[in-house]
Amino acid sequence: MAGKRVLLPYGLSLPAAAVLTVFMTAPLVMVLLLSFNSFTMATGIQPGFKLANYIEVLGDSYFHTIFGRTFLLALWVTGISILIGAPEAYVIHRMRPPWRSIFLLVILGPLLVSVIVRTLGWAVLLGRGGMVNTVLVKLGVLERPMEFMYSFTGMTVALVHVLVPFMVLSVWTSLRRLDPAVEAAGLSLGASQWTVLRRIVLPQAVPGILAGSLIVFTLAASAFATPAIVGGRRLKVAAMAAYDEFLNSQNWPLGAAIVVVLLVAMVAIVMIYNRLVERRFKQVFQ
Amino acid sequence: MAFLELHGLVQRYGPVVAVDGVDLAVDRGEFLSLLGPSGCGKSTTLMAIAGFVEPTAGRIVLGGRDMAQVKPNRRNIGIVFQSFALFPHMTVAENVGFGLEMRSIAKAERTQRIAETLALVRLTELAGRYPKQLSGGQQQRVALARALVIRPDLLLLDEPMSSLDAKLREEMRVEIRDIQRKVQITTIMVTHDQAEALLMADRVAVMDQGRIARIGKPYEVYENPGSAFVSDFLGRTNLLPATVVGRSAGRLRVKIGAVEIDAVGEAPDGAAMVSLRPERLSFAAQGLPGTIESALFMGGQWFYRVATGIGQLSVIRPNEGGAHVAEGGAVHVAWPVDAARVVQG
Ligand SMILES: Nc1ncnc2c1ncn2[C@@H]1O[C@H](COP(=O)(O)OP(=O)(O)O)[C@@H](O)[C@H]1O
Ligand SMILES: [Mg+2]
Q: Of all atoms in ligand 1, which is nearest to the CA of residue B38?
A: 23
Could you give the residue ranges of the DSSP H alpha helices within chain B? 42-50, 92-102, 107-120, 136-148, 166-183, 194-200, 218-223, 228-233
Contact B51, B70 (CB under 8 A): yes
Contact B22, B6 (CB under 8 A): yes
Mean pLDDT of B172-196: 93
Mean pLDDT of A55-81: 94
CA-proximal residue: ligand 1, atom 27 (nearest): B39
Which of B70, B73, B60, B75 is CA-nearest to residue B26? B60
Instruction: Out of B76, B89, B102, name the one closest to residue A203 (CB).
Output: B89
Residues of A in contact with B87 (CB under 8 A): 182, 185-186, 200
Q: Is A187's Cβ below 8 Å from some Cβ in B?
A: yes
Domain architecture of chain A: domains with CATH: 25-285 (1.10.3720.10)
CA-proximal residue: ligand 1, atom 13 (nearest): B18
Of B13, B38, B208, best ligand 1 pocket probe by most atoms within 8 Å of the beta carbon: B13
Do B150 and A190 make contact, defined as CB atoms within 8 angstroms?
yes
Q: How long, in residues, is chain A?
A: 286
Please write down the long-range contacts of B115-118, taking CB distance under 8 Å and 24 or more positions apart: B117/B145, B117/B148, B117/B149, B118/B92, B118/B93, B118/B145
Which of B186, B177, B172 is CA-nearest to residue B138? B172
Question: Please, how many CA atoms are within 13 Å of residue B128, restricted to the half-sphere of its CB?
Answer: 1
Shortest Cα distance, chain A CAs vs residue B51, angstroms:
9
Do A188 and B88 make contact, defined as CB atoms within 8 angstroms?
no
Residues of B in contact with A187 (CB under 8 A): 52, 72-73
Which of A184, A174, A286, A217 is CA-nearest to residue A77? A217
Amino acid at position B34, single letter: L
Do B85 and A192 make contact, defined as CB atoms within 8 angstroms?
no
Residues of B in contact with A184 (CB under 8 A): 50, 52, 72, 79, 81, 85
Q: How long, in residues, is chain B?
A: 345
pLDDT of the residue at A259 = 94
Q: Is B145's Cβ below 8 Å from some Cβ in A?
A: no
Contact B48, B42 (CB under 8 A): no
Indicate the pTM of the whole model.
0.84
By mean pLDDT, which of A58-72, A117-131, B73-87, B194-208 is the weakest? A117-131
Provide the greatest CA pair distance for chain B: 76
Q: Is A283's Cβ below 8 Å from some Cβ in B?
A: yes
Instruction: Give the residues surrounding ligand 1 with Cβ less than 6 Å away.
Output: B 13, 16, 18, 36, 38-44
Tens-place pLDDT, residues B268-320? 888 889 999 999 999 988 889 999 999 999 888 999 999 998 989 999 999 88
Tens-place pLDDT, residues A16-36? 999 988 888 899 999 999 999
Mean pLDDT of B118-123: 92
pLDDT of the residue at A3 = 63
44-73 in B: which are within 8 Å (CB) of A? Answer: 50, 52, 72-73
CB neighbours of residue A167 within 10 Å = 29
